[in-house]
Chains A and B, each alone.
Chain A
Amino acid sequence: MTQKNRVNGGLIDRSSRVNFQFDGKTYQGHNGDTLASALLANDVRLMGRSFKYHRPRGVMTAGSEEPNALMKLRTGARQEPNSRATVTELFDGLEARSQNRFPSLKFDFMGINDRFSNFLTAGFYYKTFMWPRAFWEKLYEPVIRKAAGLGSISFEDDPDSYDKGFLHCDLLVIGSGPAGLMAALTAGRAGARVILAEEDFITGGRLNTETYAVAGMSGSDWARSVMAELESLESVRILTRTTVVGAFDHGIYGAVERVSDHMLAPESGKPRQILWRIYSKRAVLAAGATERPIAFENNDRPGVMMAGAVRAYVNRWAVTPHQQVAVFTNNDDGHRTAADLIAEGVDVTGVIDVRPDAPSLAGIEVFAGARVVNSKGLLGLKSVQIRLANGEIRDLTCGALGVSGGWNPNVHLTCHQRGRPVWNDAIAAFVPGGEMPAGLTVAGAANGHLSTAQALQTGAEAAVSALTGLGVSAAAPDLPEAEDAPNSLTPFWYVKEGKGRAWIDPQNDVTVKDIKLAHQENFRSVEHLKRYTTLGMATDQGKTSNMGGLAVMAELTGKSIPETGTTIFRPPYTPVAMGALAGRSIGKNFHPTRETPSHKWAVEQGAEFVEVGNWLRAQWFPQPGETHWRQSVDREVLQTRKSVGICDVTTLGKIDVQGADAAEFLNKIYANGFAKLPVGKVRYGLMLREDGIAYDDGTAARLAEDHFVVTTTTANAVLVYRNMEFARQCLWPDLDVQLISTTEAWAQYAVAGPKSRKLLQKLVDPEFDLSNDAFPFMACGEITVCGGVRARLFRISFSGELAYEVAVPTRYGDAMIRALMEAGEEFDAVPYGTEALGVMRIEKGHAAGNELNGTTTALNLGLGRMVSKKKDCIGNVLSEREGLNATDALRLVGLRPVDSKEVIPAGAHLMNADGSVSAKTDLGYVTSAAYSPILGCSIALAFLKGGGDRMGDVLRVINPLEGQEVRAEVVSAHFVDPEGERLRA
């Protein structure tokens, strides 16, 4: 197929041939093309449909501000909706499809909406669809939802990976047009660390799209020469295909590099995109400006484009959007477009200039003081109707119309920290101002300096001033000679003639009429206007439309534009793939995994694992023949209670506490006393928050007068450490105490059951006496095992059995579990997992995470007496508040089903045996439940109002969520060995 609209010149590689598809049809383009330029080259103007009215739409711009030419790229799991054809680099094999149409782009059923546009005005839906009430979710909304939206996703997992990275620089230069290049060159020559970020796949910005000479050569050649120097400087890093999307606090910028989007798929192992977090000391915004349209009736037809975009297509991509082009302008820029088209031999059928004193242009008819009042062409522009200065109406044939209403500086990043731009009358546009991100200066067109010469100069100046602020002296390079045309513009926002719709926001179908309606209904604040009409809320975030809407509203209210409001922008500058923001921390790598020292061994045993925070813990160890997890767990419990069981308890937090005041420190941290704990002993400790709520429990072992090891729950290890550091540094800074976490350094195993001593005696080196007298309940000590491996031994018990916890250096953890199991063979020792651990602690009435839920006090837990009133400790004062000490306060109790075959579910609520069931009669809730193989029935722990006085009562345990009700007796939470004889044996 021929590329009918291709002209001479351009920055494309004509020797290349790139095949691509649009809506199933194959076309050819060249390397250097965008999808939009290649489609235009092939005379494809119709590229999409609008959001609401499904009006036919063509490409409007040549950049990332594009509102219309949105497509689905690629197929299958790589399908990517709403992609802007204007910034999609062409590659061989690219498949693009139009969207928001059915069945085809040319014939779209939903185009019927356009016929009813008079009913579908701004906010019409707020006024109807209210009756009957149930119809909203069932009828109206599904229809609306199906019609709304733009592209569709594949629902398949994204197959590509994304990287994140971190960069550091003295100066970040955003944009590589004339201002950005000069800023980078100035800073680079001064030896500063520079990052130059360019959204496009080539550098140079508008130098690539204009025909003006810079330093006697073409703009793009000059840009190439500067780039060559920048590339030679080691301190300068150039990132193309990289959009700076957000300006965050303290000089941090987010930028997305599209590493592989110009390929069919990323190379193996390589990311699709990288999110860079750039730490800059200073930044220069040189992001240029965006041309704005002039609204007129039916200004949304395919072929109506920005004049600067037409110029870009002709000059950079060697494409004319059509064989016959007209221009509609309020400034000299439009004339440039006409001149450049003529130079390429395109038929320019006229320049319509609203200025009565419009300059003339050789070889073209210039209609001074005229305006475009309407257009024709269903699926593509055929002609425009113009009204001449003398009032005459005339039709002008053209397949494309370049429109220029002036240029809006790209202030977006200056608004990201809530900075408000200020009005500049000279260019009739907002320029950066107000509260700018600290360290950011703006140069070139982004700051309202619209000529090339001004851009070059302000770019250099911005870099010099930024570096001066850093104490680096830099000299501005000699400025090359460049175009410095004055800006001549007559503000003109929309054509008032015509009764039809004139589009302000072409993607969201917001017209001048909608803005008038908003005004009529008192949605006059800019924010109300936006929210009511959806102006500027489409994928382009109003880059081409916000100003127009504001101007219309200003006219309606009789105020100036800056009095009416400002346009401010939120991050990101352009839409960012969620994958890039997520990076590698997804799927199985969402969080890092923590493995216990026995992990490898447990895998060999076929253990089932469970996530406990980031830890993977063995849940149970199935044996051959066991078909249900309960069989495994029951066996583990019974065998532990009968003989001996071994469990990896490494995950408990371990904090080493040393110093002359270590005991005094712990006395303040724990609710109960630690000052008098003898060396060689362990004590259970309860920690309160300052509000008196119990938040963690564990043990502290005193290894020396000035040395303790504190254990925390698995979940709270980090929090307890942080709080202890707070107490040490901020509350009692003069206490001599030092803290460090040692959780990872030790592999710790619980060895529990009547045979645990016998088992351990086989491994503990013989000089250490484990007899009950020498090493009684709650003893601890530093020992050696297996012939000299250093170890720690604690005689503590979570299971209620005679039990120990033995710790060895983590590197020996794997060998230690094997040694324990081997030594335990003669006792039929079992490994047990977290489930059996849980069963045994419930049988013993020990509180765990379900009970320490952040709202329970020591009193609730039945540990009220542990809170010492004789010393200062965190939480003791506020624990005395009346609300935490009510007589009917929740108390931890045990529950046993009256019918031992019934099962009590955790999370059930408690009601009296008789009476109503309601929130008002709620007596409490079940926190933990398990099947007790020792007792042969379901048991549970529960918080019960006034529970201490209700022993022996029968309650209803209700679970209406799952239609369940069980009668249960209130019993002591200590189901097994309440006197604690076993653990002292």
Chain B
Amino acid sequence: MLKLKSITPLGADEARVDRFTGLTITEVTERALVSLTARNDQADAIRDKARGLLGIDLPDIGDSAMGNIRSVFWIGPESWMIDMPYSGNEYLARQVKQAMGDSASVVEQTDGWCRFDLEGATMNSVLERLCNADSANLAERAVTRTQIHHLGCFLWRQKDGFAVFGPRSSAASLHHALLQAAQSVC
């Protein structure tokens, strides 16, 4: 039997890293994503089940909960994205669905997105050339949808930087936009 080899959203074998004065842009590929949405009137039920499964509380609107390995961020009314290491979690959706039963709709989202992490002293100056999110004022853990180069993205404030999620098919366009803004600022 053939073994399939994965490639990154930018079409390479290895994740890409771009370094500028005061900014590093790191492509992140080894994360698994699963969306979790409460069925009607089941929001409380899935909070309990999620706590049991993940060991963390589902975050409030616009927020995220970050554990050592697992994180969850809010994506819509009674809807969250679970973020875990890819390795060992190729069937994450199935596991989450089993835990949630009929109380939630669970959808595999891992390959729906590409992700670039931005870190460094100029990250806010770069982001202000890219999107209307008030990145300098985003609290740690906050997550927001925003538009970058006409693409709907998630912007997630983490401890030392930002994670930008964009649609995977447009990874090259998003990456190009990030690089141009970085060159402009750095």
A interface residue numbers (CB < 8 A to B): 161, 163-168, 269-271, 274, 277, 279, 584-585, 589, 591-596, 599-600, 614-615, 650, 656, 658-660, 706-707, 734, 736, 738, 740-747, 763, 765, 785-787, 789-790, 808-812, 814-816, 819, 822-823
Q: A167-B128, A270-B184, A584-B177 are in contact. Are A742 and B6 (CB under 8 A)?
A: no
User: Taking the nearest CB of chain A, how far is it from the CB of B183, in angstroms?
Assistant: 4
Q: A595-B169, A744-B113 are in contact. Are A656 and B102 (CB under 8 A)?
A: no
User: Taking the nearest CB of chain A, how far is it from the CB of B121, in angstroms?
Assistant: 14
B181 partner residues in chain A, CB cutoff 8 A: 163
Contact B169 A742 (CB under 8 A): no
Contact A614 B170 (CB under 8 A): yes
A658 partner residues in chain B, CB cutoff 8 A: 37, 105-107
By beta carbon, the residue of chain B nearest A590 is B150
B167 partner residues in chain A, CB cutoff 8 A: 594, 744
Give the residues from 3 to 48 in chain B that come closer than 8 angstroms, CB to CB, to chain A. 3-9, 11, 29, 35, 37, 39-40
Contact B35 A790 (CB under 8 A): no
B144 partner residues in chain A, CB cutoff 8 A: none
A592 CA to B168 CA, complexed, in Å: 12
User: Taking the nearest CB of chain B, how far is it from the CB of A172, in angstroms?
Assistant: 14
A790 CA to B92 CA, complexed, in Å: 11
Q: A592-B170, A594-B167, A740-B35 are in contact. Are A815 and B131 (CB under 8 A)?
A: no
A744 partner residues in chain B, CB cutoff 8 A: 111-113, 167-169
User: Taking the nearest CB of chain A, how far is it from the CB of B110, in angstroms?
Assistant: 7
User: Which of B3, B110, B184 lies at the interface centre, i.e. has the most chain A CB atoms within 10 A of its CB?
Assistant: B184
By beta carbon, the residue of chain B nearest A745 is B112
A163 CA to B1 CA, complexed, in Å: 51
User: Taking the nearest CB of chain B, how far is it from the CB of A47, in angstroms?
Assistant: 34
Contact A659 B129 (CB under 8 A): no
Contact B105 A659 (CB under 8 A): yes
Contact B90 A790 (CB under 8 A): yes
Verify if B87 is at the interface (C-beta below 8 Å from A): no
User: Which of A593, A707, A744, A787 lies at the interface centre, i.e. has the most chain B CB atoms within 10 A of its CB?
Assistant: A744
A738 partner residues in chain B, CB cutoff 8 A: 37, 39, 79, 105
| Those 6 A-B pairs whose CB atoms lie nearest each other, nearest first | A658-B105, A592-B173, A810-B111, A269-B183, A811-B6, A745-B112
A599 CA to B170 CA, complexed, in Å: 12
A41 CA to B168 CA, complexed, in Å: 59
A836 CA to B136 CA, complexed, in Å: 51
Contact A596 B169 (CB under 8 A): yes
Contact A810 B168 (CB under 8 A): yes
A475 CA to B181 CA, complexed, in Å: 39
User: Taking the nearest CB of chain A, how far is it from the CB of B181, in angstroms?
Assistant: 7
A977 CA to B2 CA, complexed, in Å: 35
Contacts A163-B184, A738-B79, A819-B2 supplied; 19 other A-B pairs, CB < 8 Å: A163-B181, A584-B177, A589-B176, A592-B149, A594-B167, A595-B172, A600-B11, A615-B169, A658-B37, A658-B105, A659-B105, A660-B102, A738-B39, A742-B112, A743-B169, A787-B1, A809-B6, A816-B4, A823-B2
A736 CA to B8 CA, complexed, in Å: 36
A615 partner residues in chain B, CB cutoff 8 A: 169
- 29 examples of A-B residue contacts, CB within 8 angstroms: A163-B129, A163-B181, A166-B128, A274-B129, A277-B132, A584-B180, A592-B149, A593-B173, A594-B167, A594-B169, A658-B106, A658-B107, A659-B105, A736-B39, A740-B37, A744-B168, A745-B109, A745-B168, A747-B111, A786-B3, A790-B91, A809-B110, A810-B112, A811-B110, A815-B4, A815-B7, A819-B2, A819-B4, A822-B2
Contact B4 A808 (CB under 8 A): yes
A741 CA to B111 CA, complexed, in Å: 12
A819 partner residues in chain B, CB cutoff 8 A: 2, 4
A599 CA to B9 CA, complexed, in Å: 11
Digitize B150-183: 1 where CB-to-A-CB distance is under 8 Å, 0 elsewhere. 1100000000000000011111111011001101
B170 partner residues in chain A, CB cutoff 8 A: 592-595, 614
By beta carbon, the residue of chain A nearest B134 is A168
Q: A592-B149, A744-B111, A814-B11 are in contact. Are A765 and B1 (CB under 8 A)?
A: yes
By beta carbon, the residue of chain B nearest A661 is B40
Contact A706 B172 (CB under 8 A): no
Contact A589 B149 (CB under 8 A): yes
A277 CA to B90 CA, complexed, in Å: 42
By beta carbon, the residue of chain B nearest A657 is B105
Number of interface residues of B (CB under 8 A): 53
User: Taking the nearest CB of chain B, how far is it from the CB of A758, in angstroms?
Assistant: 16
A814 partner residues in chain B, CB cutoff 8 A: 7, 11
A274 partner residues in chain B, CB cutoff 8 A: 129
A600 partner residues in chain B, CB cutoff 8 A: 7, 11
A822 partner residues in chain B, CB cutoff 8 A: 2
Q: A165-B129, A745-B111 are in contact. Are A585 and B2 (CB under 8 A)?
A: no
Digitize B83-109: 1 where CB-to-A-CB distance is under 8 Å, 0 elsewhere. 000000011000000000010011111
A614 partner residues in chain B, CB cutoff 8 A: 170
Verify if B68 is at the interface (C-beta below 8 Å from A): no
User: Taking the nearest CB of chain A, how far is it from the CB of B85, in angstroms?
Assistant: 15
B169 partner residues in chain A, CB cutoff 8 A: 594-596, 615, 650, 743-744
By beta carbon, the residue of chain A nearest B108 is A745
B107 partner residues in chain A, CB cutoff 8 A: 656, 658, 740, 742
A270 CA to B125 CA, complexed, in Å: 14
User: Which of B4, B110, B133, B180 lies at the interface centre, i.e. has the most chain A CB atoms within 10 A of its CB?
Assistant: B4
B174 partner residues in chain A, CB cutoff 8 A: 592
B40 partner residues in chain A, CB cutoff 8 A: 659-660, 734, 736
By beta carbon, the residue of chain A nearest B136 is A168
B131 partner residues in chain A, CB cutoff 8 A: 166
A304 CA to B4 CA, complexed, in Å: 80
B4 partner residues in chain A, CB cutoff 8 A: 785-786, 789, 808, 812, 815-816, 819
A140 CA to B157 CA, complexed, in Å: 64
Contact B173 A589 (CB under 8 A): yes
By beta carbon, the residue of chain A nearest B75 is A740
Contact B3 A585 (CB under 8 A): no
Contact A787 B3 (CB under 8 A): yes
Contact A168 B137 (CB under 8 A): yes
User: Taking the nearest CB of chain A, how far is it from the CB of B164, in angstroms?
Assistant: 14
A589 CA to B179 CA, complexed, in Å: 13
Contact A811 B128 (CB under 8 A): no
A271 CA to B181 CA, complexed, in Å: 10
User: Taking the nearest CB of chain A, how far is it from the CB of B89, in angstroms?
Assistant: 12
B151 partner residues in chain A, CB cutoff 8 A: 592
By beta carbon, the residue of chain A nearest B176 is A589
A589 partner residues in chain B, CB cutoff 8 A: 149, 173, 176-177
A650 CA to B168 CA, complexed, in Å: 12
B112 partner residues in chain A, CB cutoff 8 A: 741-745, 810
Q: Which of A279, A740, A811, A812 contacts B132 (CB 8 A)?
A: A279
By beta carbon, the residue of chain A nearest B42 is A736
By beta carbon, the residue of chain B nearest A729 is B77
Contact A269 B184 (CB under 8 A): yes
A253 CA to B112 CA, complexed, in Å: 35
User: Taking the nearest CB of chain B, how far is it from the CB of A569, in angstroms?
Assistant: 26
User: Taking the nearest CB of chain A, how far is it from the CB of B91, in angstroms?
Assistant: 7
Q: Which of A165, A271, A745, A811 contacts B7 (CB 8 A)?
A: A811
Contact B11 A706 (CB under 8 A): no
User: Taking the nearest CB of chain B, how far is it from the CB of A721, in angstroms?
Assistant: 12
A614 CA to B8 CA, complexed, in Å: 20
Contact A706 B102 (CB under 8 A): yes
By beta carbon, the residue of chain B nearest A741 is B112
A888 CA to B26 CA, complexed, in Å: 62
User: Taking the nearest CB of chain A, how far is it from the CB of B145, in angstroms?
Assistant: 13
A596 CA to B149 CA, complexed, in Å: 19
User: Taking the nearest CB of chain B, how far is it from the CB of A253, in angstroms?
Assistant: 13
A650 partner residues in chain B, CB cutoff 8 A: 169
User: Taking the nearest CB of chain A, how far is it from the CB of B176, in angstroms?
Assistant: 7
A736 partner residues in chain B, CB cutoff 8 A: 39-40
Contact B132 A166 (CB under 8 A): yes
A161 partner residues in chain B, CB cutoff 8 A: 180, 184
User: Taking the nearest CB of chain B, how far is it from the CB of A267, in angstroms?
Assistant: 10
A585 partner residues in chain B, CB cutoff 8 A: 149-150
